[in-house]
Amino acid sequence: MSKTVRILARSKKLQKSPVFVSPKLDTVRGVFIVGDKEYSAVIKNRDYVDQYVTNVEGADSAPIALQADTTFRFEHGQSFNLGDPVEKFLFDIISEATMGAGKVLAKNQKSVNPIYNRFYLEDLEEEANDHISMFELTLKASEHVKNMTATQKSDFALLLGKDVSSMSENGVDGFMKEQAVKNPKSILDIIDNDPDYEARIIVRKLVNAGKFTINSEGVYMMGNSKIGVNEEYAINYLTNPDNQQIAKQLLADIGVIKKRTRTTTKK
């Protein structure tokens, strides 16, 4: 069974802009070069009446008559049956065509360079694998969100750069579920790759509460005391065993843990 491939424009605005490509002609030897193959060329003589086909040793006969001014049109959505000699030849031409320092056709959408790639090769198998991978990531991220309490969802939203202080519980829940579908990797990267993410949440809560401040140089301060040159150092300060008494007081101040109250008994 012959394989059919299709080329797609790299952007919507280029979908109506065809590209015209002329095969590379070696005028000295009288052959067209497409990839690593040479093809015989139909050359017009000086009075532009008669034509003759070059017979260069090792050159193949092209499935299409090629002349010095031969140009082929390629456009968005064009397909090529690689089992057909003519269509395979045309596909080879667009595959080898260059624009500036790179090729006109990228091997897939992921490798598109907007500087010179006009088209990319549709890869249905790769796209299917991407959809499967995305589906699995979405399921995993959704399961994490499902198991979070309302407070944990609000806390986690801070790590995703979302201020949910003015949002309802239902609004926060909707935001986190939306992220699990649209950008599951952002959630999983934090859970799987950031062992300090819970402490990071606390640091950001302390910043929001004004217990920690960040000066113009990005240094974390507690009052007039410097606690870290960046967020990582602030986390280290908070988790340092020597600072646990201060940490407990800070956590109590922002309501993460309950404040200890003294009880007195009547005599």
Instruction: Please report, for residues 27, 75, 229, the alpha-carbon distance to residue 68 in angstroms, rounded to integers and kept in the order given.
Output: 9, 22, 66
Q: Which domains does the chain have, with CATH numbers?
A: 4-123 (no CATH), 124-193 (no CATH), 195-267 (3.30.250.10)
Question: Tens of pLDDT along the chain (267 residues)?
Answer: 568 899 999 999 999 999 999 888 887 777 888 878 888 766 555 444 444 455 566 677 788 878 778 899 999 999 999 999 999 999 999 999 998 889 999 998 889 999 999 999 997 777 778 888 899 999 999 999 999 999 999 999 989 989 888 899 999 999 999 999 999 999 999 999 999 999 999 999 999 899 999 999 999 999 999 999 999 999 999 999 999 999 999 999 988 765 554 444 454
Give the side-chain half-sphere CA count within 13 A for 37. Answer: 12
Both tokens assigned to 171: 């609004």
Which residues lie across from 222 on neighbouring strands? 225
How confident is the model at residue 48, as a pLDDT? 44
* Distance from C-alpha of 264 to C-alpha of 137, rounded to nearest angstrom: 54
* Distance from C-alpha of 246 to C-alpha of 138, rounded to nearest angstrom: 39
* Maximum CA extent, the chain: 126
**Is-contact 66 59, C-beta < 8 A?**
no
How confident is the model at residue 43, as a pLDDT? 56
pTM confidence score: 0.53
